[in-house]
Every structure is written in structure tokens, then in C-alpha cells.
A and B are shown apart, each in its own frame.
Chain A
């Protein structure tokens, strides 16, 4: 069965600090996809990034970067120079490629990030 673990329940930083959110996943599938979503206080989940299991290249998008390592089954998310607007709950999620799984997303429990001014 697939599982996603986000061990950090809450993280609090001061603005401009860098912060890394950890994500560890379990799956029996050799083909799978990993996602990060942001849930701001308004509640609506916002898609941030998708990675497939074939592509271990790290990715950078502005202040955001992602480190995917299959050897450790991890897909960590770093925010550089954090801002107050980054305060939100961040979810890591996994979907498997099996047709029967229907691309359902399995979410971790989320990490509440608070960025203080």
C-alpha cells in the first residue's frame, strides 16, 4: 500500500530564513508520481509541483526547490528566503501508475509552516 509521511507537524521560522519540508513515501509501484500542494488559511489546495519516478533531477522555481531521491524515498521541499505569505500547510502526495488506483492521491499529514515577520 502507498503511504506518505511528513514527520514535521509544525515549523516556525523568521522571515528570510530558508526552510526545508521533509517528505518520505512508500510504494510498491516502480512508476509513480509525487506532488506538493499548498493549503493557505483560505483552505483551497494549490498545486505546486509534480515529479515522476523516472526523473530524479532537482527542480528550482523561484524561491522554491525540490530534492527527489529515490534511494531514500524522499521528496523534500525547500523555500529559500521565506516570506510571511508562505505561511500555510504544505502537503506531499503520491499517486501510483496502476490503472486500478485511478490516480488517487495519497497525502501525508501535512506540515504547518509559520513564517514570522
Chain B
């Protein structure tokens, strides 16, 4: 078991460009979460999937953000027309089952820098 993986690990882009991140969860995990973490802060929830269904989106997730999880396996998070305020670490986590007590296993994150 290789844990949760995320690619790329770092992304530098210019304002206005689109970026896409990928997350591969632990293979048997049916829930997948995206969080955003800015410097000196705790992670903030963005959205989550149960299998291929996107069940909840945070108000933080503006119209420029879209996430998918085709076939309930890996997930992608796309940010369109990036802004400098989008600079952050984007974390993916996965868990098994549907209960709130199941611990979430986090990936190493993708650090986005918008110039």
C-alpha cells in the first residue's frame, strides 16, 4: 500500500492560467476529500466524494474550481483563471466507509504558487 499520492507536488503558474491536480487515494477507500491549506493555517475543507458522487462542496469552492472523480478512483481538481489568492497547499485525503469517525489519510499535497 503506497498511501495517498498527489501530482504534481509543486506547480508554479501565472495568473489567469488553468491548473489541474491529481489525487490517487488508497485503493480500497471510497471517500475522497480535498482541502486547502494556506501558510500558518489549518487545512480547510473544499469538497468530498463518496465513490464517484460529489456529495458536498464548501462555499470556499468558487465557480472557478471544479473537481471530478470518474469511476470512483482517482480525482482531479481544476482551477480555472487562477488568481494570486489561490496560492496554497492543496491536500487530498481518503477514508474507508461512510462514518464520520473514520480517520482520513492525507497525501503529501500539491503546492500551488500563482505569480
Contacts and interface: CB of A to CB of B under 8 A. Distances in A.
Nearest to A94: B100
A117 to B, nearest CB: 25
Given A45-B91, A102-B48, A102-B56, A107 B108 contact: no
Contact of A110 (B31, B35, B41, B101): B41
B95 A103 contact: yes
B100 A101 contact: yes
A64 interface: no
B45 A50 contact: no
B105 A43 contact: no
Nearest to B50: A102
Given A44-B107, A103-B31, A104-B56, A33 B101 contact: yes
Contacts of B91: 45
Interface residues of B, number: 30
Interface in B36-65: 40-45, 48, 50, 55-56, 58
A50 B103 contact: yes
Nearest to A44: B108
B21 to A, nearest CB: 15
A91 interface: yes
A3 to B, nearest CB: 11
B43 A103 contact: no
Interface of B: 31, 33, 35, 40-45, 48, 50, 55-56, 58, 89, 91, 93, 95, 98-109
Interface of A: 4, 32-33, 35, 37, 42-47, 50, 52, 91, 93, 95-98, 100-110
